[in-house]
């Protein structure tokens, strides 16, 4: 059994020891939280998106063909409400004051000095050898978040049209999905998407939750707004289902990395692998419908979960492109295979770091940041080439089986490789402070080696 001490970042102002969470008599617990003690009769803004079948070409998954939506999802609702919470002092520090720079080199890794992010944490012990772990209501979870930290509820529209209700009742019986602030933000607009929050789902991807995440990326309609997911064992710190998201007006290095096509599935989803990048991973894009892409990626994630393989996911390009990155850094840590030099940085390489946004906690590391140092850290995250091929074989078999046997692995592998290097873009935008442009269940599994 491998165990490693975790010091998770505080994501809510109500993330306290269980002893401090004892409810008071009458009137709920006094914290106006999302739990049953306070949620009855509560009202929160509700954004109902139009659930489309086909993927729009250049506008993400949502087209809003019938006209403008009732509220600008990204600029007015998400970022506007996020700034409101910042002005109300709900964040633990001002992330907009953190130093940020693009590291010289071919890929343009982004370095941020965020010394406040590791302060005032409480120690927690997480198992790193179990991707699937049961939800534990005694530990911090998002039902303990204060209602003032919630920006809005998010769901598909009943009548097929985008709707916004500024003061909608919370449907406790149907467990709403909510978007809440991360009080220890990495970047501007850093939020948490918490699917079906009251169901208390553990940190594992399922088909419905991933489809919701794709729709959120589409509603934002901006390639600089990405969503990320960390599994347990890949530096998720809360075992309660959630995605993270934020706005950063620069291309991530992983988005610019060249790819080589492996195959195209019957549903039109193209699967490629990353080339010339320190972390080996798969890229999913296309699909005839939103569900084609969502189901393919979900099936791949479910396969990794079932085989106890930690992974990270990045949703990019307004929901049209998804990066899937199995990793083994925490496993190497537990086995004592990571150098003291890398451990001293206290950097836990989760989805944002793997994508090329290096959140550094020491001024020394920030001042000495280089492409070579970033590459060295991320190379430790990656599976070996042989192990990656084994993992891909598992994923492909799972996808084909779920697809009722459609397609043939051997035939698909014979397609001509499609090497598609993304052009390196100018990355000076980050230095110009782009924010001013804004308009205000457990399964026993075998660990693969």
* Active site residue ranges: 242
HSE-CB of 247 using CA atoms within 13 angstroms: 23
Hey, is 248 helix, strand or coil? coil
For residues 241 and 204, is the Cβ–Cβ distance under 8 A?
yes
Nearest by Cα to 11 from 326, 243, 172: 243
Burial status of residue 12 (CB atoms within 10 A of its CB: 0-12, 13-18, 19 or more): buried
User: Distance (Å, rounded) from C-alpha 323 to C-alpha 317?
Assistant: 11
Burial status of residue 115 (CB atoms within 10 A of its CB: 0-12, 13-18, 19 or more): middle
| 270 strand-pairing partners | 264, 285
User: Distance (Å, rounded) from C-alpha 101 to C-alpha 109?
Assistant: 9
Spell out the residues 6+ positions from residue 302 whose beta carbon is closer than 8 angstroms to its own. 204, 205, 206, 398
Residue whose token pair is 């607009």: 189
Q: What is the largest CA-CA distance in the chain?
A: 68
* Residue 406 dihedral angles phi and psi, to the nearest 5°: -70, 145
């Amino acid at each position: 059994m491998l165990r490693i001490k975790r010091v998770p970042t505080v994501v809510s102002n109500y993330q306290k020891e269980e002893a401090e969470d004892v409810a008071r008599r009458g009137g709920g617990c006094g914290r106006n939280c999302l739990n049953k003690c306070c949620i009855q009769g509560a009202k929160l803004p509700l954004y109902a998106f139009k659930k489309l079948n086909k993927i729009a070409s250049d506008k993400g998954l949502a087209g809003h063909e019938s006209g403008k939506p009732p509220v600008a999802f990204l600029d007015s609702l998400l970022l506007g409400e996020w700034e409101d919470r910042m002005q109300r002092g709900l964040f633990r520090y001002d992330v907009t004051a953190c130093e940020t720079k693009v590291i010289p080199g071919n890929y343009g890794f982004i370095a941020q000095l965020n010394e406040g992010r590791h302060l005032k944490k409480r120690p927690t012990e997480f198992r790193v050898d179990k991707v699937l772990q049961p939800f534990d209501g005694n530990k911090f979870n998002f039902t303990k978040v204060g209602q003032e930290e919630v920006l809005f509820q998010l769901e598909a529209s009943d009548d097929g049209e985008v709707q916004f209700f500024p003061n909608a009742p919370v449907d406790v019986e149907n467990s709403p999905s909510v978007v809440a602030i991360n009080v220890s933000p990495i970047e501007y607009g850093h939020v948490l998407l918490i699917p079906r929050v009251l169901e208390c789902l553990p940190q594992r991807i399922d088909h419905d939750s991933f489809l919701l995440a794709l729709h959120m990326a589409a509603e934002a309609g901006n390639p600089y707004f990405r969503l990320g997911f960390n599994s347990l064992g890949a530096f998720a710190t809360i075992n309660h289902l959630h995605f993270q998201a934020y706005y950063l007006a620069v291309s991530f290095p992983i988005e610019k990395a060249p790819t080589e096509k492996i195959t195209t599935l019957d549903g039109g989803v193209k699967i490629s692998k990353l080339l010339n990048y320190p972390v080996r991973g798969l890229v999913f894009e296309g699909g005839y419908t939103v569900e084609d892409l969502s189901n393919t990626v979900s099936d791949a994630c479910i396969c990794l979960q079932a085989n106890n393989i930690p992974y990270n996911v990045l949703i990019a390009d307004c929901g049209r492109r998804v990066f899937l990155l199995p990793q083994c850094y925490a496993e190497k840590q537990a086995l004592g295979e990571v150098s003291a030099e890398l451990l001293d940085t206290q950097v836990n390489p989760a989805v944002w770091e793997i994508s090329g946004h290096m959140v550094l906690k020491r001024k020394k590391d920030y001042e000495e940041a280089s492409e070579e140092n970033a590459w060295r850290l991320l190379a430790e995250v990656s599976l070996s080439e042989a192990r990656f091929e084994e993992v891909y074989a598992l994923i492909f078999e799972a996808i084909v089986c779920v697809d009722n046997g459609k397609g043939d692995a051997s035939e698909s592998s014979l397609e001509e490789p499609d090497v598609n290097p993304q052009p390196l873009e100018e990355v000076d935008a980050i230095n110009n402070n782009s924010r001013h442009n804004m308009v205000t269940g457990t399964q026993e599994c075998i660990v693969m080696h």
